């Protein structure tokens, strides 16, 4: 059965992100499910270049470096894992169970050895018998990320229900995503919301139910292109009471000093909510709008605590 474009690109991403060394092209063609369908080396080269561009357009950084550091005659490719991985990972029992499920799900695929290795290193056990509950949860998360990747690659509309911090129940959202990334323990994507015609950031775990993918009209794509040229993520600096270099991988920002972290954001209100989880280490915020939203959320939080 032919491998779809979105699945092939996802396979390429997983192979690159899980490699500890740069991978040369000939090895990528052998390891990525979907490239074996290419009739010639030239066809593979064209397909690989397009797939690389698709991943880079979604915000994923792919480095091109020599395979051997002493010789630069052969180049390899590697995803910057710092964008997606934290330095210290603590696994819950449920997460270990998911890794065990992954080792079964990826049986006889290019990810089988990686899944087994991850399961053993995190203290789990490989068990081919998985509960229906874990199977259902894992399948739901996998479908969610596949839908997001498909929408990113095709510039399609994602139609889903979402619970924000201010919502009491899920509300329908229609967006065109631009970038998928990880901050701290959670995954986020930046997207253009069609109803409000603004850029917003969404947390994947707050999506409720199925994501429906629909093609965008020419008008919507033109609107996105026009606004995309004018709207760029802004920067804010947050001073903390910890060593910024040691803590930045948890916050999702970039350390620019001993006690300062630089963040990128689109919406002040949403980003102020994101900062709440780091309240114990925050000293100051150099953006007045974010600072006021942040103070309001802290006051609301303290009111809730006072009633308990």
Q: Is pLDDT above 90 for 159?
A: yes
Look at residue 110 in the predicted model and tell me its pLDDT. Answer: 44
**Radius of gyration of the chain, Cα coordinates, nearest whole angstrom:** 21
Q: What pTM did the predictor assign?
A: 0.45
Confidence of residue 143 (pLDDT cuts 50, 70, 90): confident
Confidence of residue 271 (pLDDT cuts 50, 70, 90): confident
Domain-by-domain residue ranges, the chain?
1-85, 133-230, 234-306
Q: Do domains 1-85 and 133-230 have the same CATH topology?
A: no
**What's the rounded mean pLDDT across residues 285-308?**
80
Q: Is pLDDT above 80 for 259?
A: yes
Confidence of residue 260 (pLDDT cuts 50, 70, 90): very high
Question: How far is CA 296 from each of CA 166, 169, 305, rounded to the nearest angstrom?
Answer: 13, 22, 14
Q: What is the mean pLDDT of the chain?
A: 77
The CATH fold assigned to 1-85 is Arc Repressor Mutant, subunit A (1.10.10)
Look at residue 237 in the predicted model and tell me its pLDDT. Answer: 94
Tokens of 186: 């959670």
Confidence of residue 89 (pLDDT cuts 50, 70, 90): low
- Report, in this order, helix, strand and coil percent for the chain, each rounded to 5: 45, 25, 30
Distance CA 37, CA 4 (A): 11
Confidence of residue 109 (pLDDT cuts 50, 70, 90): very low
Q: Is pLDDT above 90 for 160?
A: yes
Q: Architecture of 133-230 per CATH?
A: Roll (2.30)
CA atoms within 13 Å, Cβ hemisphere of 254: 9
Instruction: Tell me the sheet residues that pair with 237.
Output: 262
Tokens of 178: 């631009």
Look at residue 283 in the predicted model and tell me its pLDDT. Answer: 92
Stretch among 46-50, 70-74, 293-297 having the lowest mean pLDDT? 70-74
Confidence of residue 138 (pLDDT cuts 50, 70, 90): low
């Amino acid at each position: 059965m032919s491998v779809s474009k979105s699945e092939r690109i996802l396979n390429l991403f997983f192979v690159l992100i899980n490699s500890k060394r740069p991978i040369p092209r000939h090895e990528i063609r052998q390891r990525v499910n979907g490239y074996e369908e290419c009739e010639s080396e030239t066809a593979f080269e064209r397909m690989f270049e397009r797939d690389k561009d698709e991943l880079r357009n979604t915000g994923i950084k792919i480095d091109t470096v020599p395979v051997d550091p002493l010789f630069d005659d052969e180049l390899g490719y590697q995803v910057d894992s710092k964008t997606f991985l934290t330095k210290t990972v603590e696994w819950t029992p449920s997460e270990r169970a998911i890794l065990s499920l992954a080792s079964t799900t990826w049986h006889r695929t290019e990810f089988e050895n990686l899944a087994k290795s991850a399961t053993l290193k995190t203290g789990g056990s490989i068990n081919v018998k998985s509960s229906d509950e874990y199977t259902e949860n894992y399948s739901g998360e996998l479908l969610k990320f596949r839908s997001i990747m498909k929408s990113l690659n095709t510039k399609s509309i994602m139609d889903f229900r979402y619970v924000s911090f201010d919502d009491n129940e899920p509300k329908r959202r229609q967006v065109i995503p631009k970038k998928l990334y990880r901050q701290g323990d959670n995954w986020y994507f930046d997207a253009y919301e069609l109803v409000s015609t603004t850029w917003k950031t969404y947390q994947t775990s707050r999506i409720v139910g199925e994501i429906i993918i629909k093609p965008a009209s020419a008008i919507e794509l033109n609107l996105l292109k026009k606004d995309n040229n004018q709207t760029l993520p802004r920067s804010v600096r947050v001073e903390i009471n910890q060593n910024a270099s040691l803590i930045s991988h948890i916050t999702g920002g970039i350390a620019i000093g001993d006690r300062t972290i630089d963040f990128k954001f689109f919406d002040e209100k949403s980003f102020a909510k994101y900062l709440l989880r780091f309240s114990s280490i925050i000293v100051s915020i150099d953006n007045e709008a974010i600072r006021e939203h942040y103070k309001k959320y802290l006051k609301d939080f303290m009111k809730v605590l006072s009633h308990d």
